[in-house]
Amino acid sequence: MTVELNPKDIKVSVLLTLMVALGPLSTDLYLPSLPSLTETLSTTVSRVQATMSVFIAGFACATIIYGPLSDRFGRRPVLLGGLTVFVVGSLGCMIAVTIEELIVWRFVQAIGGCAGPVLVRAVVRDVYEKEEAARFLAYIASAMALAPAVAPMIGGWLHVLFGWRSHFVALTLLGVLFIWAVCILLRETNVSRDHTATQTRQMARNFSHILKQSQFRAFSLTLMFSYGALFSFISVGAFVVIGVLGVAPDRFGYLFFFVAIGYASGGLIAGKLVGRLGVSNMIGIGVALGLTVGILGLALSLNGIQTIAAVVMPVVGVFFACGFVLPAATAGALMPFPQIAGTASSAISFLQMSGGALIGFLAGYLHDGTTLPLFAVIFASWAGAALIYTHARWTGSIRPLAGATGA
C-alpha cells in the first residue's frame, strides 16, 4: 500500500518537510551558542566547529546504510530505527560535559538524523517522475527553509534563558514527536523491495552502477559543491557574525532568518519554473547566480568591507541560488534508478554531506577573525560547481530536452 503524496496532502507533506529539516534543525538551533562554547567547555574555535563538521560526517557515513536497508526492508521501519538513534544521540549531547563527549554524541545524533533526508528523497522517488519530483522537492525546500530561519532565533532565546543544553532537550522531544507522527501518518511506499539490496556484493554492484552513470555524477557533484558553499556559512557564520561583526547571540537568529528566506524564495521560484525550463536549466541558472554572489562577497571582503550588509546580502544570494540547484540536482540524479532509489539517495547524500563536511571544516580551519576565509571558500565552492556543470553540459552528460523538460 502506498501513500498518495502531493502538495495538497498537507499532513504527509508537513511530516516529510520536517523530517528533511531535521539536519538543518540539528545544526542551526544551537548556532548562537557556538562562540560561547569555547569558554564554557574550555576549548578552541576549531574544536567547537568540529561539532558541526562531525555531524555532517556522521550524516555522510550513515547515508550509505539507510538507502540499501530501505530498499530491502521498506522506508517506514528503517526511518523509525533512525529516529530512535537520533533521540539517543540528542540525549547524549544534552548530558555531555566535555567537548570530546559532545563531538562523539553529535556523531551518534547525525547517524540517526540522516534517516529523514535520505528516506524522504526515496519516498518522493517512489511516487513521482522527474519533473514532478523536482517540483515537489523544490516546494519542500522552500517550506523547509522556514525551520532554519526560525531555529537560530529560538536557539538564541534558549541560549539566553537556559543555556546551550536546552537546544538538545528540544531536539530530543522533536525526535520523539517524529517517531509518533511516522507511526500514525506514514504508510509504506516501497512496494518492490529488493531482497538482495543489503548483500555486500549486491550493494557494491548497485553503488558501482550508480557511480558509472554520467548523469548521476554530473548532478550529484554539482549539488555537492553548491551545498558546500551553503554549509560553509552554517559552519562558521556564527563566528563571523557574532565574533567579527559583534552581533549579540540572541540577535544572530534574526539575521539568519533573512538568509534562510533566501533559500525559501529560491525553492519557491524554482518549483514554479522547473516544469517550463527543465531540471538542467534550473541548475544552470542557480550555479550562475551562486558564482556571481560568491564573486561579490569575495570582492567586498578583499576590500576590507566588513559590515552586516556586506556579509548577509551575499550569503542571502548563496542560499537563494541553492534553492534552485539542490532540489533540481537531487531529482535529476535520482531519476535513472527507480528500482534502487534508496541506494541512489544514499549515494547522493554521501557526496553532499561528506563534501559539505570537508568544505565546512576548511572554512573553520581558515577562520582568522575576518570575513575573507568564509567568502574565499564560498567562491571556490561555486567555482567548482560551475566547472562540473559546464563540463557536463559540454560533454552531453546533462542536456536540455525539447520543450519544457531538461535531462
Q: What is the pLDDT of residues 182-230, one digit of tens each?
A: 888 877 777 677 677 667 788 788 888 888 888 889 999 999 999 999 8
Q: Measured between alpha carbons, how far is 69 from 255 in angstroms, rounded to an integer?
A: 39
The structure's pTM equals: 0.71
Question: Which residue from 185, 188, 181 is spatially nearest to 76, judged by alpha carbons?
Answer: 188
Q: Residues 365-403, buried b or exposed e (16+ Cβ, 10 A)?
A: bebeeebbbbbbbbbbbbbbbbebbeebbeeebbebeee
What DSSP string runs through 111-176?
HHHTHHHHHHHHHHHHH--HHHHHHHHHHHHHHHTHHHHHHHHHHHHHHHHH-THHHHHHHHHHHH
pLDDT of residue 8: 46
pLDDT for the residue 181: 87
Contacts of 129 (CB under 8 A, 6+ apart): 335
| Burial class of residue 188, CB neighbours in 10 A (0-12, 13-18, 19+) | middle
Question: 3-state DSSP call for residue 345?
Answer: helix
Report which of 3, 6, 20, 113 is spatially closest to residue 330, judged by C-alpha positions. 20
What's the average model confidence in pLDDT over 133-153?
Answer: 66
pLDDT at 7 over 70: no
The fold adopted by the segment(s) 14-187+201-395 is Growth Hormone; Chain: A; (1.20.1250)
Task: Say which residue the cell 563540463 belongs to.
Answer: 391
Residue with cell 564573486: 295
> Pick the residue with more confidence: 170 or 189?
170
Give the pLDDT of residue 9. Answer: 62
How far from chain centre, in Å, is Cα 397?
24
Encode pLDDT of 315-332 as tens digits: 999 999 998 998 888 888
Q: Are 358 and 68 in contact (CB under 8 A)?
A: no
Q: What is the pLDDT of residues 266-310, one digit of tens each?
A: 878 887 887 788 888 889 999 999 999 999 999 999 998 989 999
How far is 282 from 275, CA to CA, in rounded Å?
10
Per the model's pLDDT, the better-predicted residue between 147 and 113 turns out to be: 113
- What does the pLDDT look like over 253-269, one tens digit per residue? 777 778 878 887 887 88
Q: Which residue has the cell 567547555?
A: 41
pLDDT (0 to 100) of residue 204: 83
d(CA 132, CA 145): 20
For the chain, give percent helix, strand, coil, nearest 5.
80, 0, 20
Buried b (16+ CB within 10 A) or exposed e, 128-151: bebbbbbbbbbbbbbbbbbbbbbb
Percent pLDDT > 70 in the chain is: 87
Radius of gyration of the CA atoms of the chain, in A: 20
For the residues 18-47, what does the mean pLDDT come to? 79
- Indicate the domain borders of the chain: 14-187+201-395
HSE (side-chain half, CA atoms, 13 Å) at 361 = 14
- The pLDDT mean for the chain works out to 82
Determine the Cα–Cα distance for residues 249 and 354; give it in Å rounded to an integer: 28
36-85 residue pLDDT tens: 787 788 787 778 878 877 887 787 788 788 878 888 888 889 999 999 99
